[in-house]
Every structure is written in structure tokens, then in C-alpha cells.
Structure 1
Amino acid sequence: MNLIFLALIVIAVATAAIREIRSTDPDEQPMQALSEGAIEAAGSAVELALGLVGVMALFLGLMKIAEAGGLLTVLARLLRPLMVRLFPSVPPEHPAMGAMILNFSANILGLGNAATPFGIRAMQELEKLNPHPGTATNAMALFLAINTSSITLLPTGVIALRASLGSEAPAAILPTTLFATLFATIAGIASALILQRYFLPPPATRSIDPDQTSADGASELDDTMREAGREATEPTQDADPTADTANQQPMNIEVPTEGYPTWVSILVLLGVLAIIPLTILYGQAIAPWIIPGLVVGFLSYGVIRGVPVYEVFVEGAKEGFNVALRIIPYLVAILVAVGMLRESGALGMFVGLVGPLTTPFGLPAEALPMALLRPLSGSGAYGIMAGIMQDPATGPDTHVGILVSTLQGSTETTFYVLAVYFGAIGIKRVRHTLAAALTADAVAVIAAVAIVGFLFL
């Protein structure tokens, strides 16, 4: 992200300087416009973050109720029968299986602050089953391919941002995000399973006793989950601005050793798949009901589960307040860079060159920078998305605004995720992991362009 940020600034200044030198019109002052654009963008970033405080507090308060009510454990039990079949090399009772299940469950609910400790713990346990240390196993590659496909049913962060920017239907991206993330996840799984046949691991350098590692790991899972949470809170080069990384603590959540019957999991999966075409067909009519339905649904779930909903909601709302304030530096940095790029004329030149090539395929040139930056930088992509939706010409409810919202909700910061998870266990040979993850990203972009074009063009 350091190089990307520097490149944006340098390109903006260089473009404005060249225009200033070549200009023969005394009224045209590109460098002055550049300076004013930088200051205006910095102020807009702070205003945007402050406007986001209330909406983030609302959504994180509701998610805290779901978390306290054990919804993660319920999802984990639903996923377990499917996970056992997807990861045949991992013993069903091994701690790695439980950590992966909880990671996916947290991602499904959009709880990135909970998903990271579970993900790091899963990688640590998978490494205990690794017969060739330093090289990614098939299970690791598949786990990260699914992780980077951004499997999510509720993109609360993006919905909150859209609401703060005055969107008439902030939850209108729910059907498009579901559609794109479904295809991305399928592509990630399929590509990981296919590519593992061609990227063979080296000969084993140690023997593994799954029963022994399972027994040892199970006894220390709760103790080391806290350690994984501390590791996840360490500063990184490109933290996701919407993740609660500053106060990230692993939750005291039961790791289920048994799942629901397979037929229950299949029925739930089919139900989710059935929802997608319904939301596509009736998305415009359903959208106004989504946010009130979420509020009532999560509160009712909390009451049924015996959760003190008011106290827990307030606790989660405090986290939402902190998250909204913490993203100010990220937004200032990126929006200033993008604002300078726009005022310098470099962004307009890029749009003019690329637009005729991508627009016929449903990808406007305005959205292309965000699509290209998303796998590299969560903060960068988030800032560009916010800038696009702040611009009156491409507000949150235009085709471009809905497309970038869908891209943000259905894709992941692939290189960051791989760097953090592989770095936690010292993996140097990633084998086919990156190829599978980027395949999922590419499919997510194609699916997002297709569904947004179908519904909103």
C-alpha cells in the first residue's frame, strides 16, 4: 500500500505540473486546483467518517447481539457436515476443523474482527498436520481460497456506508452481493481442487500422527485462541479499515465437536440458494424491508436466547463508534490521493482511455480502479468506493455506486489475507493458493458486473 499511495500522489503532482507548465491560459491553474482539491478531500473524509458513526454503531450493536446469542455456534454446527467433506485430510475432531468452521461462520455474518483470530488459529493447527513445513498444504490452499472469496451473507459495513451517504435503498446491494459471493466461493473451491492436482507438494519431511495432534491441539485450543487474537491485533502494512483491529479480542465461543445432521445442513444450504433468485426477482420490493427486518430479527433472536439486548447492543454500538473514528486516517489518506488524482486531470485521462474498452462489458471506467485495487488493499479500495459514492455524479444509488458497493462486499483483500495467514506460520511456498484466490476474485468481479448490469441498467 505504501507504493500505491506514493504512486497516486506522484502521478497527480506530475500531471498537474506538466499541465501548469504547458498551459497558456492564465485562468487555468492546475497546481492551485490540486492544492484546493487535497484540502477539500481531507475535510470530506472526516465528514464522511463522522456521518458513518451512527450507522456503524447500529449495525455493530445488532451483530453483538447475534454474537452473544450464539449465532456463530449455530452456523458452525450447520457448516460442520459440509466442511468434513470439503477437507478430508483434516480429522473431523481436530482443532483445525473447529477453527476453520468458526472463521467461515464469522465471515458469513460480516464479523471480520472475529474471523481473523479464528483464521490464524486454523492455520496454526493446519501446520501441525503439514508433512512438509514451509509449503502450503491442499487444506491450507482451499481454506484460504474460500476465505478470500469473501463468503458473506450480510455486508453490514458496506450497507452502513451507503446509508450514511444518503442512499435511498442502502440494502439494495444484498441480492447482488449474494449472487457475486456465491459464484466467487464456488470458483475458489473448484479452482483449488483442480489446481492441487498440478501443483504437487514436495516429498514429506516429517511424519504426522493426526490422532496425537488432535488430542494435543484440543486441550490447548481455548488457551491459544487468545494468543492468536493478540497476533491478529499487531499492526500490519495494510489493515482493513472496517475491521475492529485495535480492540480485537477472540470471543469465548464454544467450538462445536458435532454438527447438525447432514440433511439439515443441506436443507439450509438449499434455502440460502433459493433466496438468491428471489432477491434478484423481487429485490426492489424487498430492499426497503431489509434493515427494519434485520433490527427486529436480531433483537428477537437475542430475546429468545436470553440475551440482555439493550446492554449488549450498547456494548456493540461502542465498538461501532470506535470503528467509525478509526477509519478517519485511512479515508483521509486515500481520499486525498484520489482527490488530487481527480483535480490533476490524471483520473479523467485514465477514464477516457479505459472507458471505451470496459464500458461495453458493463464495467464503467470509474469503477475499474476500485476493482483493480481491491485484492491489494482493503483501505485503498474502501477509500475509492467512498469517494465514488460521495461524488454527486456517481452517488450510492447509481449504477457505478451499486457496482462498487457490490465489489467491496463480494471480494476480499487477497494479498493481505495471504500475507497475514501464511506469515503467521512461516509458509514460503504457497503453491496454487494465490491462483485459486485470484480466480475467485476475477469471478466475483464478472458476476458483480453481470448481476448489477441486469438489475440496474
Structure 2
Amino acid sequence: MNLVFFALVAVAFAVAAVRQLLWDAGGLDEVAPMALLTDEMIAAARASVELAIGLVGVMALFLGLMKVAEQGGLLVIIAKTVRPLMTRLFPDVPPNHPAMGAMILNISANVLGLGNAATPFGIRAMQELDKLNPHKGTATNAMALFLAINTSSVTILPTGVIALRASLGSTEPAAIVPTTLVATLCSTIVAIVAAKSLQRFFAAPPPDAETEEREMDADEVTAPPAAKTPEAPAGSDEAYPLHVSLLVLLGVTALVPLTILYGREISPWIVPALMVGLLGFGMAKRVRVYECFVEGAKDGFQVALKIIPYLVAILVAVAMFRASGALDALVAAIGSFTDPLGLPAEAVPMALLRPLSGSGAYGVMTSIMQDPATGPDTYVGFLVSTLQGSTETTFYVLAVYFGAVQIRRIRHALAAGISADIAGVIAAVTIVGLLFGAL
């Protein structure tokens, strides 16, 4: 991450410096390249803090619900249901560990296109995974794989993109559901393969014996023996029979055609139903839902404070890269090569920006679909909509998730995430071309 961060800043500064030296001050309304770079840096730093503050409420809401689900035993139930798959993907995580349930809730939220709900669940999963981390500050294999899956995130219902398409007058706002599903399935498969393949080349450093001894001594002083290994809930060490897992998987699969046919009608119900369902489950399990919810919501404020420095660093670097003109130069350089492959020059900024800046990519997508020459129901419109729904802001996820648990050495997480992004773009171009006539 050190190299990526410095490279973005250094390239942005170099490009802006060249433009500044060649700049003609004759145009009174034109802003000097270096002045523009400075303004964008300050604006990005301010926006980073505003973004973190805006996440406080959302995190408090969903982490509160997460706490109720955990106290009621829902996470254990979910983990037991999908244990055959999760234990193979995450062999280093105990099957009944809270991290399993948190990861499943995060993946489920992404499947439904609920980015706001997925982030708190993902942060909670990272916090739980960090409890199993023998090398504090270094990403584990499970963390890297989870982040790669989160970056690719199989999506059945890209609710936000569908709503935007509808607002821009699309006659087929939900037409991107099958294209998004295919693209995210491909990117998720690549994410898993990449993370599993690369982990052997990015071995975690051996623990420092002196540091490990100091940590053990501190544990002995600050925590009684019973506090180190909490007793698992009764029955949590046994998975459900295989046929139960298969039935649940079939039930989830059956939701796919329903979301395609009734996606717009279903999407407004998801978040309210999630809250009522989790609180109702807690009540049925005799959990003191109000006190439990408040206790979990407190974590939202602490997490938001932890991630602010990480957000400032990555968002300022990305803003510099855009404002300097480096991104435009990159688009101009590769646009002529991608157009014959089904990725028009108009969509190249979207493909490049999506891993770097979610808001930037959203703005590009909106401007393309607002343009009368393209619109939401053309090939380009369908392509940028699919790209928005089928790829994730990788650098944002890295900053937020790893920042929440103070991870500094990310190992192969970035490489796996970028691999998933590239696969998502290729799959999106292929499926949109097949369905909408460009290929």
C-alpha cells in the first residue's frame, strides 16, 4: 500500500508540474494546474472527514442490528448452514467463530446491492478476523480472501443503479440485472482463485519472539484464563445436515428470477424488513433488544474515528491523480486500443475510476446516461451501468476495512482485488456485448 499511495501522489505531482510549466496564463478564467491540484487536495481531505461522519449513523444502525443478531445466535445459525462452503474457503477460521456470520451477512448485503449495510458488516467481520490474527498489523489469508470477495461481490439486485436508470427515463431500468449477475459471478470466481493462488507468494512474516512474549505477558496480566477462550454456544460446533444447506442454497437461487421480474418492487422493502426481522428474531430469543442495539451502535462511532486517517490518505491521492490530468492522459492512451474490444472510449474513464473512486465513477456514469447521444438504453449506457453494479471501489474498501483494524501490510489483498476488478470489466463488456448487440 505504501508503493501504491506514493505512486499515485508522485505521478499526479509530476503531471501537474509539467502542465504548470507549459501553462499559458493568458486565459483569466482558467485555473493554474498546481492551483487546481491544491484545491482538489483540500476538498478531498474535507470530503473524507464528511464521508466518515456520514457513515457514523449507518454504521451505528447496522452494527446495532448485528449485535442483536449475534446475541440471539443468528450468526451461529447462518454459519452452520453454509459451513460446507465457508470452511473450504476459510480453513483458518473456526466454523463457529463470529467472523463467519459477519462475513456471510456482509456478502448477503452485497448480493442485494445494499452497500451501506455491507460496510458495517464487513468492518465487523474484519474486527473478528483480527482476533485470530497472529501477526497484528499484517493481513491474514482470510482477510485478503474476504476483501477480494467483497471487492467482486456477487450482486443479484443493483438497487442504486436501477433507481438511477429509472430516474433518467430508461424504459428498461432493470435490464442490467442479468448482466450484473454474470459479471459479478465471473469476478468473484477470479477473486477467489487469485487470492488462493497469490497467498503462497506473499507469506506472512514470522512473529517476533520478543514481541510475542511481551503480548503473552500482557494477556496474562490483563485477562483471566477464562476470558481468552470464550465458550461456544451449545451445538455451535455441529453443522446442519448437507441437505439443509442445499435447500437453503436452492432457496437463494430461486430469488434470482424474482429479483429480475420484481426488482424495483422488492428493493424498497429490504432495509426495513431487515431491521424488523433481526429485532423480531432477538425478541423471540428473549434478547434485550434495545440495550443490545445501543451497545452495538456505540462501535459505529469508534470505527468512524479510526478510518478517517485512512480515508484522507487514499481519497486525497486519488483526487490528485484525477485533478492533475494523469487520468485523462491514461484514458487517451488506451482508448484507441479498447474500442475494438467492446470498451468504447466514453466508458474507459468509468472502468479506470471504479476501483479508485466510487463517487467519481458514479458521476461519470450519470453524465454518460444523461447525454442524449448515449442515454441509459444504449450499449454504452448498459455497459457503464453494469460496470457500476459489478465492480467495487477497491481502494476505498482497502482503506476502510484494513484501517478499522490497523492493518498496514496488506500482502496480496490489492493484487487479488485488482484481478477481480479486471475480470469484472472483461465479463461486463462480454455479456453486455452479447445481450445488446455489440459483439
Do both proteins adopt the same fold according to a TM-score greater than 0.5, normalized to the shorter chain?
yes
Q: Are 2:194 and 2:419, in contact at CA under 8 Å, matched by a contact in 1?
A: yes
Matched to 2:117, the amino acid is: A
**Structure 1 counterpart of 2:346:** 366
Answer yes or no: is 1:92 the counterpart of 2:67: no
Q: How many residues align?
A: 341
1:291 matched to 2:264? The reply is: yes
- The two structures have a TM-score, normalised by structure 2, of 0.63
For structure 1, list consecutive stretches of 5 or more residues without a partner in the other structure.
22-28, 33-59, 222-255, 280-285, 308-336
Distance 2:250 2:232 in 1: 36
Q: Give the match for residue 202 of structure 2.
A: 199
User: For 1:356-383, what per-residue CA distance to the aligned partner results, in whole angstroms no more than 9, with x for missing partners?
Assistant: 3111111011111111011111111111
Is the CA contact 1:351–1:366 (under 8 Å) kept in the aligned structure 2? no
State the match for 1:396 in structure 2.
376
Partner residue of 1:101?
104
Which of the residues 161, 184, 204 maps onto 2:187? 184
Alignment of 1:182-331 (within 5 A): 182-205=185-208, 206=212, 261-269=241-249, 289-292=262-265
Counterparts of 1:259 and 1:177 in 2: how far apart (Å)?
Answer: 32
1:24 corresponds to: none
DSSP-derived class of the 1:200 partner: coil
Q: Distance in 1 between matches of 2:119 and 2:431?
A: 29
Q: Secondary structure at the match of 2:373?
A: helix
| Counterparts of 2:107 and 2:244, CA distance in 1 | 18
Write the distance in 2 (CA, Å) between the matches of 1:299 and 1:138.
35
Give the gaps of 5 or more residues in structure 2.
31-57, 217-223, 281-318
The structure-2 alpha-carbon separation of the partners of 1:356 and 1:194, relative to structure 1 and needing over 3 Å to count, comes to: same
Q: CA deviation at 1:445?
A: 0.6
Aligned partners of 1:394, 1:213: CA distance in 2, in Å?
65
Question: What RMSD, in angstroms, separates the aligned Cα atoms of the two structures?
Answer: 4.9
Q: CA deviation at 1:290?
A: 4.0
Partner in structure 2 of residue 232 of structure 1: none
Alignment of 1:338-353 (within 5 A): none
- Please tell me whether the aligned partners of residues 125 and 217 of structure 1 are also in contact (alpha carbons under 8 angstroms): no
Q: Which moved more, 1:397-406 or 1:196-205?
A: 196-205
| Paired position in structure 1 for 2:400 | 420
Q: Find the counterpart in structure 2 of residue 429 from structure 1.
A: 409
In structure 2, relative to structure 1, the CA distance for the partners of 1:92 and 1:352 (3 Å cut) is closer
Task: Compare 288-297 and 150-159 and name the one that shifted more.
Answer: 288-297
Q: CA deviation at 1:150?
A: 2.5
> 2:305 maps to what in 1?
none
**Corresponding residue for residue 426 of structure 2:** 446
Change (3 A) 1:297 1:122: closer
Q: Percent identity?
A: 59
Q: How does 1:36-47 map to 2 (within 5 A)?
A: none
TM-score (norm 1): 0.60
Residue 43 of structure 2 is matched in structure 1 by none
Shift in alpha-carbon separation, 1:219–1:3, aligned structure 2, 3 A: farther
- Maintained 8 Å contact 1:389/1:395: yes
Residue 446 of structure 1: how far off its partner (Å): 0.6
In the alignment, the residues of structure 1 paired with residue 134 and residue 164 of structure 2 have an alpha-carbon distance, to the nearest angstrom, of 45
Q: Is 1:111 paired with 2:114?
A: yes
| Structure 1 residue 123 corresponds to structure 2 residue 136 | no
SS at match of 1:448: helix
Task: Quickly say closer, same or farther: Cα 1:298–1:369, change in 2 above 3 A.
Answer: closer
Quote the residue 1:147 is aligned against. 150
Matched, 1:377 2:357: yes
Q: Is the 8 A contact 1:76 1:102 kept in 2?
A: no
Structure 1 letter corresponding to 2:264 = I
Work out the CA distance in 2 between the residues paired with 1:443 and 1:190: 12
Q: Which amino acid aligns with 1:357?
A: F
Contact 2:198 2:412 in 1 (8 A): yes
The answer to whether the 8 Å contact 2:148/2:416 transfers is yes
Distance 1:268 1:194 in 2: 29
Change (3 A) 1:214 1:182: farther
- CA 219–110 in structure 1, closer or farther in 2 if over 3 Å, else same: farther
Deviates more, 1:101-110 or 1:194-203: 101-110
Shift of 1:434: 1.0
